[in-house]
Structure 1
Amino acid sequence: MADRLVRGVDAARPGVPTLEQVAAKAGVSRSTASRAINGGLRVSPEALLAVEAAVADLGYSPNRAARSLVTRRTDSIALVVPEPDERVLSDPFFAGTLNGLASALADTEIQVVLVIARPGQNERTVRYLRNGHVDGAIVVSHHRDDTLDRALVELRLPSVFVGRPLSATPEVDSRLQYVDTDNVQGGRMATQHLLDRGCRRIGTIAGPEDMSAGIDRLIGWRQAMTAAGQRDDAVVHGDFTIVSGAEAARRLLTEYPDVDGIFIASDLMAAGALPVLAELGREVPQDVAVVGYDNLGVAASTQPPLTSVIQPVVAMARAAGLRLLDQLQGATPTPPLIFAPELVVRASA
């Protein structure tokens, strides 16, 4: 049936190279040529090379709709972002994610479908993924209540998370693939830099308590503070946005006015905090030294420029895309890929 479908589509396009012509030029059977074009399964390397050369010489392009019927593939993947629309459009993290994912898919015909999983619409997102619209999914900015990790495991849909998913059980977590940066080490590194500068009352504006990045960066801050024999009580939380950084900075300085160093868990929150420090008469870094996290471009444009821990978002998204491509080709799951953090020192600390 599948062979007849493709044959019919090819025959309906007069003057356009057909699958039969590709097979004849490559010196293989029509079924071998079809398998080579549709993924290369059960095709020898020699035959695959011959078919690829014939396709290039003849300018053959299979009809995408017919190919989907044959392969049961859509040649599309979803980039799932469980955040409000305005957050996706304003946060440079998501631009970096798209950049890295596009790089991973550059040599393929796979298209990316952006799925913004707005708060309270998890069921709609899962239903979309379940109904066969895409071949796989990349999930970024995952929150505990999204439950996308468990849903994707149940769907058996090829998927990769950018950032460690907060799974409910070890069983679920062991069946997920993800890439991340070592956020605990990054939090320690940022805090140690402040300690090495001589700061003795270091606070933190931590990230969301329902995201692994927020949790792990706070753990790193606490580890460095404990190792230095310092108190770790000066903690307020934001949600990785500029507005929340400004509000958190005001709370932190009100509750802990003796703070002389702040580790802020994202550069966007730091961009909101710096004007508040200036408003309150605290010079940076003379009165309060500040270290951020991400180094995605915002850090270099703040006043003063921000010392920041690198989160290699583009490289992480590219790695996630390549891992998803491997899954789509039938590869077995691989252990998590964790990038090492680095510190970029600028004028703020």
Structure 2
Amino acid sequence: MGDLKDGRRRPTIRDVAAAAGVSRGTVSRVINGGHWVSPDARAAVEDAITRTGYTANHAARSLATGRSSSLAFLLTEPQQLLFADPTFALLLRGATEALAQRSMTLVLLVADTAAERANVEHYVRAGHVDGVLLISSHESDPLLASLIEAGVPTVCTGVPLGHRMYVPTVSVDETESARVMTRHLIDRGHQKIAVITGPDDTSGGRYRLVGFREEMGDRFDPDLVEQDVYSSEAGAAAMTRLLERAPDIDAVFAASDVMAVGAIAAARRAGRRVPEDLAVAGFDDSGLAETHDPPLTTMRQPWGQISSAMVEILIDVINGVPRTDLVLPTTLIVRESA
């Protein structure tokens, strides 16, 4: 079959199938990122797409299927955190790459204020996206409950407190991960260990504290606990309060790398050297940990796996496949800070 990239007409799936020597169904599965396609057939289809100049007609597909071929990346946090916390950028990049392989589009939505939540809810309910990748969730936030009530396919990163029975999740074992880091600090000989954790209405904030408390056992001291939002400023303020109450602490587990960076800055302002006088460990390994001075000891989350799994599970949910949850492992990364 000749090359169709000469302007005569728009190439179709039928043309690609003929050029590749496969069925139209096989071409459709390759285009939509489906499984059950052999490597040889996939290579033949991809070569035929290049030779024919085929591009998907998403407008026609949307009219025929009632789908938009796009997913929402929904962040229910202040907009500035998208740029201040590198974990969100990692998830955004991973989701974008996963959708690009399926010729789908990712729509970034931010819903922190009541007005933003109302706009997002209207946009999503109107069918502008086929489903939602919920990147952060707070137990007190009504938006997730609204999406569930409307039947909007949704997948959460982290366990959505109060809603875990209604939406599939991709998460790490927050409790066990915190126990591993706490055990590391204990094994390094630290005697008075404090923790700076996230909001109690998030799974990370709540269960990382649970893991720390469980591993500390009889050593746990509630006066050595600080809980705040995930930000450098919050980490610094929490460290300042800890040092005022307990100037003899010798280690701090901060439940995010961003908080750890703020904590180290505050410790230095108070005349403490890290790690000589005070060990500080983080959580995430988002890129910030490796480049910080000193490099942070942290718990690595598998960001690429999290975002790609979220996309795959959400597409399954959209296609009527029964929901599933996925818990991925973290890894202790030991560097100079602790």
TM-score tier (shorter)? 0.7 to 0.9
Partner of 1:200: 191
One-letter code aligned to 1:284 = V
Deviations 1:187-206 (A, max 9, x none): 11111111111111111111
Amino acid at match of 1:202: I
- Per the TM alignment, residue 257 of structure 1 is displaced from its structure 2 partner at its CA by 1.7
Is the partner of 1:282 in helix, strand or coil?
Answer: coil
TM-score by length of structure 2 reads: 0.85
Aligned-partner SS, 1:185: helix
Partner of 1:82: 76
- CA separation of 1:249/1:63 partners in 2, compared to 1, >3 Å: closer, same or farther? same
Task: Please give the per-residue CA displacement for 1:68-97, whole angstroms capped at 9, x wherever unaligned.
Answer: 111111111100001112111221011110
Aligned residues of 2:16 and 2:52 also touching (Cα < 8 A)? no
> What do the CA deviations read for 1:319-339 (whole angstroms, capped 9, x no partner)?
1111112223332211x2111
Identity %: 36
Query: What residue is the counterpart of 2:128 in the other structure?
Result: 133
1:342 to 323, 331, 336: 331
Partner of 1:217: 208
The AA in structure 2 aligned to 1:16 is R
Aligned residues: 323
Counterpart position of 2:237: 247
Aligned residue for 1:343, secondary structure, equals strand
Counterpart of 2:9?
A: 16
Greater shift after overlay, 120-129 or 338-347? 120-129
**SS of 1:85's equivalent?**
coil
Pairing 1:238–2:228 present: yes
Match of 2:65 among 44, 67, 71: 71
**Shift of the alpha carbon at 1:23?**
9.9
Match for residue 179 of structure 2? Answer: 188
Root-mean-square deviation (Å): 3.0
Matching residue's letter, 1:67: R
Cα deviations by residue, 1:232-275 (Å, 9 ceiling, x for unpaired):
43111221111111111101111122211111111111111112
Answer with 1 or 2: which has the greater Rg.
1
The 8 Å contact of residues 217 and 265 in structure 1, kept in 2 or not, is answered as yes
Give unpaired runs (5+ residues) of structure 2.
Answer: 1-6
**Structure-1 residue corresponding to 2:4:** none
Q: Report if the CA contact (8 A) 1:97-1:313 is conserved.
A: yes
The aligned residue for residue 166 of structure 1 is 161
Please give the secondary structure, in 2, of the residue aligned with 1:118.
coil
User: Is the Cα contact below 8 Å between 1:205 and 1:236 reproduced in 2?
Assistant: yes
Query: In the aligned structure 2, how far is the partner of 1:84 from the partner of 1:332?
Result: 33
Matched, 1:112 2:103: no
Partner in structure 2 of residue 6 of structure 1: none
Instruction: Measure, in 1, the Cα distance between the counterparts of 2:17 and 2:59.
Output: 24
- Closer, same or farther: CA 127–286 of 1 in aligned 2, 3 Å: same
Alignment CA distance shift 1:152-1:184 (3 Å): same
Aligned to 1:29: none
Residues 35-46 of structure 1: pairs in structure 2 closer than 5 A: 37=28
The letter of the residue matching 1:152 is L
Counterpart contact for 2:179–2:212, Cα < 8 Å: yes
Measured after TM superposition, the shift of residue 220 of structure 1 is 0.6
**Which residue in the other structure is 1:8 paired with?**
none
> Would the alpha carbon gap of residues 60 and 304 (structure 1) be closer, same or farther in structure 2, given more than 3 Å must change?
closer
Deviations 1:284-340 (A, max 9, x none): 222221111111111122222211111222221111111112223332211x21112
